[in-house]
Each structure stands twice: as C-alpha cells, then as structure tokens.
Amino acid sequence: MHSLRSIAFGPKPRLRSAALCLCGLLVLLGSAATSTGASDPAKTVGPNACGECHKEEVEAWKGSHHFKTYREMPRSTKADEIADKLGVRRIRQESLCRSCHFTVQAKGNNREEPIAGISCESCHSAGQDWIKVHSSWSGKTPLFETKAEEKVRWQQSDAKGMIRPRSFYLLAKNCYTCHVVPEEDLVNKGGHRAGSEFELVSWTQGEVRHNTWYTKGRENAVASAQRMRMLYLIGLGVDLETALRGIGKAKVRWLYAFEMAKRADRARKQLDVVAKAVPGVPEIAEIVKLSHSAGLRLNNERRLTAAADGISKQLVQITEKYDGSTMGGLDSLIPGPDKYKGTARKPPS
C-alpha cells in the first residue's frame, strides 16, 4: 500500500494502482447548504463604489494578493500550464478562472468583464441592491443617526444581500468556496491545487485584514478574542462542510477526491478537539456526528450532501446563539500572529 504522501504528492502511479489506493482510503475514512459562490456580475458595482467611504480599507486591499491577482494571475506560468491542459485560451474570459480570481461586472450586449481581482464584493456580495441602504445613515449623518435607525438600516442591508463582518458563516462560505477548489477537472485534468492550506483566522488576520473603520483609519487592529474564536470555529465547520460537498461531487477515484477526503478527515478530527475544549457548545459534537454519518466514499452524493446541509444548519445556529464570549477554551488552539498569512498594511501616518 502506498503511503498517503506518495499518493497525493509523489509521481503519478498507474491509474488502476492509484484508484485502488484511493478507494481504500475513502472506505477507511468513511468507516469510522449551497455555497454562496461568486458575486453576481449583473449586480456588481465595483470596488470604486465602496472606496468612496472605505478609503483605508481599499488601501489595505491594494497591498494584498487579492488585489494583485488581476494583473499577476493571467501572466503566471502555472496558470498558463493549467489553461493549456484545459483548453482555455483567455484566462480572464473563462468562467472556471473568473469566478474565483476576479471581480466580474456585466456590461452591455450581454457581455461580462473582469474589472478587478478579488475585491469587496467577492466577500460581501454584489452591492447593487444594498450599497445605498448600507451607506445612507438613515438619511442623516453618522453623528445623528439613532441606534434604532441604525438597527433598521442594518436589517435592511442584510435583507438585500449584504454579507457583513458579523456574518461569520456566510463570509467563511465565500472564502472556502474558492480556497477549496470546487471543480474536479481543474485538479485532475488541469493540475490545479485542490485547495490551499486555508484556515480562517490565520488568513483573515494577515494581509487581507482591513479593520480600520471604527478607528477612522488610525490603526488596522487584529480581531478581538471573541471574534477570533468565532472565526476559528466557524472556519473549521465550513472547511468540513465544503470538503464533504467536494467528495459528493467527485466522479473518479483520483487526486481531487483523495484531497477532499483528507481535508474532511483533518477538519473533523480537529473539531473533536474543539468539542472537548468548549463542551458548552453541543452543536460542535453534532457537527462531528453528522460528518461520520455519511461516510467519505464516492458515489454517495445524497448522504454526503445531507450531512453537509446538516452541518450548515448547525453552523448557522452557532452564529445565532453564541458570540465567542464563552469559548475561552479555544484560545490555545487558535493560530497566533506567527501563523498569519502575510502582513496587514498599516494605515498611512
């Protein structure tokens, strides 16, 4: 039997041999809601519309790989290799690439055009329906809007599709939708990675951090301890949910299915640890139980999807019931600053 490392990263074995090895892994692991997706091009307003108020946030974004992907990704040698294998001639015009690497806006004559890299609306959803409500201050100014008016404004923004920083589950879904590659052919045929070693705390507190609004640009601080706990827990749950959906969609016993099975197993083992660390959150144990109910096997989409849907419901319930204040047991598990992905840009002096 090949080791896990040789199957995943070593020379490509003969198809029959690899299939048998992966089949064994999937059965071994198994024995023991729909993703939010890309921003709607027809409702995308573009980062300039957000930058009218969020100048410091936009400046922080400009120092990130999310911003740079617009120019750098199409010129990447690796991107060219993947495109060649998939028969893609123009990377910015191919939906397989655009949905994750670019912000796309609808133009005239039924045409869609990439206008930026991964930007505001990639995370917070297309803004056409909610941006005016979000920024109207109830027709007043920030100084004179009452708390009651502010509450109504946020409720209306949520109802129109805005994904706010407090929407832990929806934000995590948008992150994992791309950071765990959702297309089997991209991996098996194109040679694309099956996903990055993405973890919500370490990646959101690095270069993509833009926590400047409440200090009026004076600092770009890390998240609070309570927020870190919620990011960590919800991130692990969405990681597991996304991997289960990936296995359910996989058609062949090859690298993509193998990587999704490993990812799911790793996430649920860590959630076992988390469940012991915060026993006052019974939903975590239920998530682990649901993940085991399906079995990490191919041609099992119905049960895997049902398990993923159940996990989704539990995660939403966690975001509605808890704010992280009672989850101090997670603090020793949460990645520290040495694990943050890149360096956050500081506001100008």
Does residue 2 have a pLDDT over 60?
no
Q: How far apart are CA 148 and CA 146, in angstroms?
A: 5
Q: What are phi and psi of 106, to 5 degrees?
A: -75, 135
Q: What is the pLDDT of residue 110?
A: 84
**pLDDT tens digits, one per residue of 183-224:** 999 999 999 999 989 999 999 999 999 999 888 889 999 999
**Residue-averaged pLDDT of the chain:** 88
Q: Which two tokens stand for residue 234?
A: 């919800």
User: What does 199-245 look like in DSSP terms, one character per residue?
Assistant: -HHHHHTTTT----GGGTTS--PPPPHHHHHHHHHHHHHHHHHHHHH
Proportion of the chain above pLDDT 70, given as a percent: 89
pLDDT beyond 50 at 292: yes
Whether residue 162 is predicted with pLDDT greater than 50 in this model: the reply is: yes
Report the candidate in 273, 230, 267 with the shortest Cα–Cα distance to residue 247.
267
Residue of 251, 66, 59, 324 lying closest to 174 (CA atoms) = 66
Taking only the tens place, the pLDDT of each residue in 27-39 is: 333 333 334 446 8
How sure is the predictor about 138, in pLDDT bands with cuts at 50, 70 and 90? confident
In 3D space, the residue among 210, 160, 200 whose CA is nearest the CA of residue 177 turns out to be 200
15 pLDDT higher than 70: no
- Is the pLDDT assigned to residue 312 strictly greater than 60? yes
d(CA 86, CA 229): 40
CA–CA gap between residue 209 and residue 212 (Å, rounded): 9
**Token pair of 166 as six digits:** 């407090």
C-alpha distances (whole Å) from 165 to each of 227, 244, 266, 278, 328 are 10, 25, 26, 23, 21
Q: Where in the chain are the domains? A: 1-32+167-349, 37-122, 128-161
Question: pLDDT tens digits for 39-98?
Answer: 899 999 999 999 999 999 999 999 999 999 999 999 999 999 999 999 998 898 887 899
